[in-house]
Amino acid sequence: MLLDTASLYFRAYFGVPNSVRAPDGTPVNAVRGLLDFIARLVQDHRPDDLVACWDNDWRPHWRVELIPSYKAHRVAVETETGPDEEETPDTLSPQVPVIMDVLDALGIARVGVDGYEADDIIGTLTGRATGPVDIVTGDRDLFQLVDDARGRRVLYPLKGVGTLQVTDEAWLREKYGVDGPGYVDLALLRGDPSDGLPGVPGIGEKTAAKLLDSFGDLAGIMAAVDDPLAKLTPSQRKRLDEARDYVAVAPKVVRVASDVSLPDFDPALPSEPRDPASLDELAAQWGLGGALKRLLSTLQG
């Protein structure tokens, strides 16, 4: 089981009241919510391995070089040397280091690599896995990794993590008319305002799905633009022709990396905390007793 950790703690932050606070009054709603999410996921799915995948860089420079608008609207502060600072609610940012400390004390593997997003860690680990993989994320971009033959599916939270949309190839085909790899082509044609991906103007989701159905993939669509006999409307032909520069680079931006060099780590789900003393200190400082007890009980079960 691979967790898109930031996606889940953002959901926890907005799903758990801000009134959930540490003894000193600091909000810990994202921390407590994430711990409860993990407890529920372990209880319901009993994974052998669990990895909290991390955004060491939420807006990698190599993606921005290709498409400068990539996540640009979410930048709070641009930095010359490291990752840009992302706009986050004032009371969420201080909770992120606490989440890191708690996961480390529990012994839940937390993996991030400089210059890459959690999606890229997930893509790399999914490619390496020899057994089934469940990816837990609220980010549709990861639908591209769905592969029934290899047991790869996405568990997409609808309401917390108690109600999950199980995204397999049948669901993708019914919803979008594509399989996992086809979702990359659909997404880049349609665009995604939340990621600053412009898409091809005038080509929405339904049109993109029809074009992919007619011509197979992005390469087939662009070949059709050059074929006067291909069944494209004049408007579609013109818009796709004008978008050639974007279409040439967008696949590298939208497709998750599969070849990230990862550090050594133990993905096995712990049954006991790695550092009980640190965990006790964190529980007392941040008022996490109940949430940690529930999670530890689940891990031991």
pLDDT of 77 strictly over 90: no
Look at residue 80 in the predicted model and tell me its pLDDT.
80
In the chain, the percentage of residues whose pLDDT exceeds 70 is 100
Nearest to 284 by CA among 11, 5, 28, 40: 28
138: amino acid identity, one letter: G
pLDDT of residue 87: 86
Is 142's pLDDT higher than 80?
Answer: yes
Contact at 8 Å (CB) between 169 and 146? yes
Contact 60, 118 (CB under 8 A): no
Give yes or no for a contact between 15 and 27, defined as CB atoms under 8 angstroms apart. Answer: no
pLDDT in tens, 199-241: 999 999 999 999 999 999 999 999 999 999 999 999 999 999 9
Phi first, then psi, for residue 21 (nearest 5°) are -135, 160
